């Protein structure tokens, strides 16, 4: 079982803003940066946000990340139908020589 | 751009060893960390371990006794071996490039992924 807890689901209508939380502890999120991955149906995950709030080249600025204490969040503004996917947060337990952990995953549905 | 491709048997018998290879093309293997992740049917992502191009490894504690990740820089490949498999090891296995600087504690994420390969453990 994952040590990073995410809500199992989130939803919104096109154009709305959706926020996904990722709750951890002082040993993981509280000590290391957080990355977010998007997994579209039937495909490999894709890096969406790295180092808490940085978007890789090519990722729309509708996606934004933040972190505070032992929790992190991913926000999707201007929700689009193609954003329907699973989203996973990820970080390390203790250090980068330790255990890498993924969140439990959140299914975003566009209504 | 860098591309990754997993290869290996799609069916493995219980108690045997699962062996997969990830071929790196379009860029160097040297100087980077490389990782394996798996996803059981209908479940979330699970990290297996990583290897640096020099051969330094780090494994998930729960798999440490059964897993070996190795690298062959001459072939631009890295590999996964998981011994004594059971049905619980049935999953889609992904390889990915892990952009980290361990000494500085910098993690820029798994920025390149293979498409994944399905491995079923069954007799």
Interface of A with B (CB under 8 A): 2, 32-33, 35, 37, 39, 43-47, 49-51, 54, 56, 86, 88, 90-92, 95-105
**For range B44-58, the mean pLDDT:** 97
The whole-number pLDDT of residue B110 equals 97
Instruction: Please report where in the chains the tokens 């994952």 appear, as a residue.
Output: A2
Picking from A106, A65, A5, A49, the residue whose alpha carbon sits closest to that of residue B111 is A49
**For range A6-13, the mean pLDDT:** 98
Q: Report the DSSP pairing between strands B3-7 and B18-25.
A: antiparallel
- Predicted confidence (pLDDT) per residue in B57-69, tens digit: 999 999 999 999 9
Q: Is the pLDDT of residue A1 over 80?
A: no
Cα–Cα distance measured from residue B68 to residue A64, given in angstroms and rounded to the nearest whole number: 36
- Predicted confidence (pLDDT) per residue in B13-45, tens digit: 999 999 999 999 999 999 999 999 999 999 999
The chain B residue lying nearest A41, using CA atoms, is: B42
Which whole-number Å values give the CA distances from A105 to A6, A21, A38, A44, in the listed order?
Answer: 6, 10, 10, 14
Residues of A in contact with B99 (CB under 8 A): 50
């Amino acid at each position: 079982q994952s040590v990073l807890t995410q809500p199992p689901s989130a939803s919104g209508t096109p154009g709305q803003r959706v926020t996904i939380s990722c709750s951890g502890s002082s040993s993981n999120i509280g000590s290391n940066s957080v990355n977010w991955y998007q997994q579209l149906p039937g495909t490999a995950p894709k890096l969406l946000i790295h180092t808490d709030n940085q978007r890789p080249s090519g990722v729309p600025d509708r996606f934004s990340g933040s972190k505070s204490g032992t929790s992190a969040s991913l926000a999707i503004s201007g929700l689009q139908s193609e954003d329907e996917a699973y989203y996973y947060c990820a970080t390390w337990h203790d250090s980068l020589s330790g255990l890498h952990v993924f969140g439990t995953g959140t299914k975003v549905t566009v209504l | 751009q860098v591309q990754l491709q997993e290869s290996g048997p799609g069916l493995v018998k219980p108690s045997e060893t699962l062996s997969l290879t990830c071929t790196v093309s379009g860029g160097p293997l040297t100087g980077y960390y490389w990782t394996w992740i798996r996803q059981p049917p209908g479940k979330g992502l699970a990290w297996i371990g990583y290897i640096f191009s020099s051969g330094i490894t780090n494994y998930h504690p729960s798999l440490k006794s059964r897993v070996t990740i190795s690298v062959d820089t001459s072939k631009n490949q890295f590999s996964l071996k998981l011994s004594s498999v059971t049905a619980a090891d049935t999953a889609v296995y992904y390889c990915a490039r892990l952009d980290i600087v361990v000494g500085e504690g910098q993690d820029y994420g798994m920025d390149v992924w293979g498409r994944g390969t399905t491995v079923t453990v069954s007799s």
